[in-house]
Amino acid sequence: MTKYFFKRLISLIPKLLIISLIIFVGLQMVPGDPITRTISPDAYANMSPAQLEELRESLGLNDPLPVQYLTWMGKMLRGDFGYSQVNGSSIGQMLAQRLPATLELAGLGLLVATVFGLALGFLAAVKQNTAFDHASSFLGMIGVSVPEFFLGMAAILIFAIHLKWFPTGGRMAPGQEAFYERIEYLVLPVLCLGISYTATLMRFTRSSMLDVLNKDYIKTARSKGLSEFSVNLKHGFRNALIPIMVIIVFRIPILVSGTVVIESVFNYPGMGNMLLSAISGGDMPVVMMSTFIIAAVILLVSFLSDIITALLDPRVQFEG
């Protein structure tokens, strides 16, 4: 298992290097003086041309591109991501503020979708061909088909503007820091983010449960006189969870990247909202560094998904 773990971990290195190389080349193609992406705008404005040339030489901006790439990578590893060309803020500080918000939103969306998806899929399989089964299948098709931005706009219109149950957007009110204080801001975006994933997971859970309930060992358990609840939950659902968990972990990267739309609709201060604002404002350093961080997070989540899948799926061979 250790060998498998390190093999998957090492495979991330060339992927990250390729992504970083693409980002670096893109930054070199951005119009303007590269030094403006390296120092703050205030410092740039107070320097003479001679001082700028001396600083450019000291920062290695006159070196060959391969050397510049290695220098740039070294700065990134130390947390120096440069500065925004629009507001002059440190990109590293912007990322430190926005990334936790995105991970919080994606994590809660995954939790809600997993709980409701598993529960509804289990009940739909147990109550096959009943009104509940047909209704859940119909709602599942709607959940998969309706775009997230439409769900978000409808939720704001109904629950925030008309009923005034929740705020229209944001993450917290000024002065609020505790998690319980921002729950009301999370309800609508989390539910809208999780609805599509809930529908998908519900359909997979139902199919997996129906497949397991037709196995011979389920018939044997019933013949022993076990209660229907025990057969369905202990023998059926437990064995149906293995392929379902594989689906869950493989959907995590999609869920992380899918927060971009929800953050934009609800004006949620996360990575996705910052990325869209930077694109509309032409702030290419922020766009490219945000893209790099999102790609790195997705790769890391995919790596964790592979490990969890290997632990859950007995068909995966760790050795040989």
**What interhelical angle do 284-312 and 2-10 show, nearest 10?**
160
Strand partners, 90: 83
Mean pLDDT of 12-33: 80
Q: Is a pLDDT exceeding 80 seen at residue 103?
A: yes
Q: Which pLDDT value is given to residue 320?
A: 46
What's the half-sphere exposure (Cβ side, CA atoms, 13 Å) at 26?
16
- Lowest mean pLDDT of 8-17, 25-34, 194-203, name the range: 25-34
Distance (Å, whole) CA 248 – CA 209: 15
Q: Which residue has the higher pLDDT, 262 or 222?
A: 262
Please report the pLDDT score of residue 40 as a whole number: 67
- Reported as a single tens digit per residue, the pLDDT across 198-229 is 888 888 888 888 888 787 777 777 777 777 77
167, 111 in Cβ contact below 8 A? no
Domains and CATH numbers, the chain: 2-70 (no CATH), 91-312 (1.10.3720.10)
Supply the pTM of this predicted model: 0.74
Residue 33 pLDDT > 70, yes or no? Answer: no
pLDDT score of 316 more than 80: no
Q: 90: which DSSP letter?
A: B
